[in-house]
Amino acid sequence: MCLAIPGKVAEIQQKEGVRTGRVLFGGIAREACLDFVPEAHEGDYVMVHVGFAISVVDKEEAERTYALLESMGVLDEELGLGAEGTRSS
């Protein structure tokens, strides 16, 4: 539940006063709020927890963590992919 998943910030925009990023987790894109990481730029890697980036991390470390979480099979749950009624926008 307190896992955070590393993803790459592909695009940043302001949406109704919220700094929002399209974040890529492997092949999956999700919107995440970037208000807690004002230092994050497009191309940076962030740790995302329930749709909110909580830290900026190194690219190599992020990719390694992602591969491991994928092999542990926890990504679907953390990204809400199996969840019925989940919004993908």
Q: Is the dihedral of CA 43, 29, 83, 77 positive or negative?
A: negative
Residues in the chain, total: 89
Q: Are 6 and 13 within 8 A, CB to CB? A: no
Residue from the set 10, 13, 41, 54 that interacts with another protein by CB under 8 A? 54
Q: How far is the CB of 40 from another protein (least distance, A)?
A: 11
The 10 Å CB-count burial string (b at 16+, else e) for 47-56 is bbbeeebeeb
| Rounded Cα distance, 88 and 61, in Å | 26
Q: How far is the CB of 69 from another protein (least distance, A)?
A: 8
Residue from the set 11, 16, 27, 40 that interacts with another protein by CB under 8 A? 16
**Contact call for residue 77 and another protein (CB under 8 A):** yes
Chain residues binding another protein by CB under 8 A are 1-4, 16-18, 30-31, 33, 35-38, 47, 49-52, 54-55, 57-58, 61, 64-65, 67-68, 71-72, 77, 79-80, 82-87
